[in-house]
Structure formats: structure tokens, C-alpha cells
Amino acid sequence: MKRLILALFLFLSFLNVKAEGYLTNILVDGVSIKDFSSEKKEYNLDVDSKKDTIKVVFVYDKTKYKGSGSSENITLKSGLNKISYTIKNIETLETLETYVINITKEDNRSSDNSLSSLKIGTTQVVLGEKNEYDVFVDSKLKSVELKATLKDNKSKFVSGYGERIGNNSINLNGETTKVEVKVMAENESIRTYLINIIKKDYKDPTNTLKSLKIDKIPFDFKSNIYEYNLTVENNISEIKIDLVKTSDKSSVEYLENVKLKEGINNLVIKVIAESGDVKEYKINITRNELVPLVNNIEIENLDFTFDKTKKNYNIKTNLDKLNFKITLANIDAKIEETGNEKLENNSIITLKVSLDNQEEVYTFKIIKESTKDDSNDTKNDTKSFDINSFLKTNEMLMSLITFGVGVLSLLIAILVKKRKVK
């Protein structure tokens, strides 16, 4: 009976402890961990990237339990740090519970584990997002060098998986030789490049450009991007293309010097590999249309209509000078006016409007009109004309007319006399 009561007491004691949990607290750098509960078994904690160590203390009744695992001063690495702590029965060493704290240290280290360039023998590999590349080499080669450049100077090659040059060059055994290049980023992440070096009766299939520059038009060229849309101002009317082939064995078809029209100019650069494979780079350059410097021109006291597409005008007027009112599209433009004084028939007035390298010239030819007074004078002269004034001012003509009439009369008299005699 006593044994039964003792067993029952021990069982109830176990249930009581189990309900309360084994820990009374967890201290992190002397402060209770957030959301502590005696029944909670796992915690998550984030710390700053500058924190290198942390002190963790698991608090429990050491007369009843024994603890083991990571605690006290713990060195933290960037990323996830997992701390496990086990509570055991002090007498039987039976594992009663395991507690876990996941401490995440902010990681500001670079994750770039890529290559900026890779060359196998004389072949420049065009790198992209993929990790496996086939490289073809001459079947007569027995060995080849592998040269590579890291994109991030904080990264490094994994030992034994970096460049292979000189005495460490790659021996080519069989038709295909597989080589791995491994790059470890600052944050210790690793990227593996697999290179399949394949022997064949070789003609270089490389048909890409290593670099492409267009003077006056800066842009970001990448060997594996084959179309670009660029825009230039109207004052750029001609460009020069400068390029470098990835493979010396390829050839290129393109125009080195190009005159640009307003609007879209579609340029194509063809890269022809030694193997005959062709790749095209398309450069679409939009040259902006010229914006007129002058919005409107008015002439004071004249009915004049301005046309932006027209530069030469004929102006009918009797004015000695024209007063222009010019509305500019850009207030920084300068106006130069010549020939606008003491206007005569066929006088030419020139307006020159300029801004930077842009210039617009408008000419106005003056056509003098007859005045109203002149017309009236002409009409009055016509009305006052009579025969008497005309005869007075033309005496010689009258003398000739008188002489002619006399001669004619004499001839008529002679003719009449002869007819009577008969």
C-alpha cells in the first residue's frame, strides 16, 4: 500500500513539472528572451550584422536537472545560427526536453559568385545566366588553358577549381573533357560552372561582339543582347561605330560611318563565325525632329500670315520700314535683323534666328505699290486732255500735216483739169 501511494505521488509530481516546463527563463545578454514561456520549445531572434557574439543563459533548477549544449558566449556568423540546449534528469541523465533558439544575423556580405569572363584556349565564352557551356576545340589539341575573371573582387575561386594555366593547363583526353570552375561569394555561397570541352574538326562558331561603341551615343552594350533602341537629339546627324569581335576568326559586315535621318534609323551589324553561323545585332536609333525656333511672326499694320514651313516671303507695301513682332519657341534664341531701312522696290529684309548650332533664316522681298494719290493724278491728267493743248505743244507735227494737205489739194486740182481738157 505504501509503495502504491509513493508511486502515485511521484507520478503526480512528474505531471506537475511537465505542466510547468523545465526552464524558468532564458536570458539573452542578461535580458529575458522575448515571448518566453516555460512550455515553449523554440524561439527566433534577429540581430544586427555588427553583432559578433551573444550570451545565452538557460535558467532551471540545477538540483533536479542537468543542462548541455550551446550557451554562454556564442560566436555568431552571418545568416542563421542554431542553438540547441538539452535538459536531462540529474539522476538518470534521461533527456527530458530540447530547446532551440534560431538567431539570424543580418548578412550584408556580397552574394555575387559569378564570372565576368571565361576563355578556353583562344575561345572567349559568352557568359549568361546558365551554368553549363559547350566549347569546341581543334581535335589536334592535347591540352588547353582556362582563364577566368571574377566579377566581384570580394569573391574567390574554390581551391582547385579556378584558372588552369601553364603547367596546370587542362589535358584533353578523349572526345569530351569536363571541367568545373567554382566561385565562392563573400557570403560563402558557391556557384559551379561546368565546361564541356569538345574536340572536333574545328571551325570557330563564335559570332558575337566583345564590345560596341557609338560616338556621341553612350549606352550599355552586352555581348548577349542583340537589339538596342537609342535616341539622339536633332543636332547629331552622323555617327561612327567602333567594335571589337569576340573571335578573331569571325568577320563583320556593317557601316562604320552612318548619316542619320530624322526619325528611326535601323542599323544591322552582322557577325559571321568561321563556321558560317551568322548573328545580327540590331541598333535602332531615333533622331529627334528639329523643333522650329520661331512660333510666329507678325508685321505691324500689314495683313501677313506666317507659315513655319516657309522661309521666303514677298511683301507688298509702301512703308519705309517694317515693324516685326516675333514669337520665339525658345527665349534664349537670338534674332539678327538686316536690310530693314529706307525700303525700296525689291529691297530684301533678312531675319536670322539662332540657338546653339541651329539657325533659321527668313527673307522678305519688298514690292512697292502705286499710291492712291498717284492714281488720282493719272486720272486727272486724262480728263484735262484736249486737242488745242495738244496742237500747241506739237507745232512741227502741225506744219507737216498742213504741207501734206496742200500737196494733196494740188494733185486733186491737176487731175480735175486734165479730165476737163479731154
**Is the pLDDT score of 64 beyond 80?**
yes
Query: How would you list the strands of the sheet with 190-200, edge to edge?
Result: 132-138, 190-200, 176-184, 156-157
Residues 357 and 298 placed together within one structural domain of the fold = yes
Q: Are residues 257 and 302 in the same domain?
A: no
Residue 378 lies in a domain: no
Residue 177's pLDDT band, with cuts at 50, 70 and 90, is: very high
> Does residue 385 sit within a domain?
no
End residue of a domain, out of 229, 257, 287: 287
Type of residue found at 289: E
Same domain, 228 and 272: yes
Question: How confident is the model over 332-352, as a mean pLDDT?
Answer: 91
* Confidence band for 1, pLDDT divided at 50, 70 and 90: low
CATH of the domain at 32: 2.60.40
CA distances to 6, 7, 17, 196 from 3, rounded to whole Å, are: 5, 6, 21, 77
∠ at Cα 362 (360, 367), nearest 5°?
175
| Residue 43 shares a structural domain with residue 68 | yes
Residue 419 CA neighbour count, 13 Å, CB half:
6
Which is nearest to 364 in space by CA: 317, 331, 301, 296? 317
Determine contact, residues 267/288, Cβ cutoff 8 Å: no
Whether 36 and 92 map to the same domain: the answer is yes
In the predicted model, is pLDDT for residue 44 greater than 70?
yes
Same domain, 25 and 101: yes
What pLDDT sits at residue 18? 46
Question: Is pLDDT at 157 greater than 80 in this prediction?
Answer: yes
Tell me whether residue 302 is in a domain: yes
Residue 201: is its pLDDT beyond 80? no
pLDDT at 127 over 90: yes
Which of 241, 256, 287 is the last residue before a domain boundary?
287
Residue 4 lies in a domain: no
Bridge pairing between strands 53-60 and 23-28: antiparallel
Q: What is the pLDDT of residues 303-340, one digit of tens each?
A: 999 998 898 999 999 998 999 999 988 888 899 999 99
CA gap 366, 211 in Å, rounded: 59
CB 150 within 8 A of CB 183: yes
Is there a single domain that holds both residue 171 and residue 233? no
Question: Is 215 within a domain?
Answer: yes
pLDDT digits (tens, 9 = 90+) for 372-418: 444 444 343 444 445 555 555 556 666 777 777 777 877 787 777 76
Tell whether 97 and 52 lie within a shared domain.
yes
From 177, 200, 223, the end of a domain falls on: 200
Give the residue numbers spanning the domain of 28: 21-105
Residue 5 placed within a domain: no
SS3 label, residue 20: helix
Asked if residue 263 and residue 224 are part of one domain, the reply reads yes
Q: Same structural domain for residues 236 and 275?
A: yes
Domains of the chain: total: 4
SS3 assignment for 97-147: EEEEEEEEECCCCCCCCCEEEEEECCEEECCCCCCEEEEEEECCCCEECEE
* Bridge-based pairing state of the strands 312-316 and 358-367: parallel
Asked if 121 and 174 sit in the same domain, the reply is: yes
pLDDT at position 165 over 60: yes
Residue that is written with C-alpha cell 539662332 in the block: 354
Could you say which DSSP state residue 246 is in?
S
- 294 is written with which cell numbers? 520661331
d(CA 195, CA 218): 34
Q: Are residues 215 and 184 located together in one domain of the fold? A: no
Asked whether residue 324 is assigned to any structural domain, the reply reads: yes
Whether 65 contacts 123, CB under 8 Å = no
Whether the pLDDT of residue 73 is over 90: the answer is no
Whether the pLDDT of residue 175 is over 70: the answer is: yes
- Which of 244, 242, 240, 214 minimizes the C-alpha distance to 229? 214
Give mean pLDDT, residues 359-376.
Answer: 74
The pLDDT tens digits of the residues spanning 261-287 come to 999 999 999 999 988 999 999 999 999
- CA 145 to CA 181: how far, in whole Å? 13
Q: Which of 105-119, 241-255, 301-315, 405-419 has the lowest mean pLDDT?
A: 405-419
Among left, alpha and beta (phi > 0; psi -120 to 50; other), residue 391 is alpha
| 180 within domain boundaries | yes
For 357-375, the DSSP string reads TEEEEEEEEEEPPPPHHHH
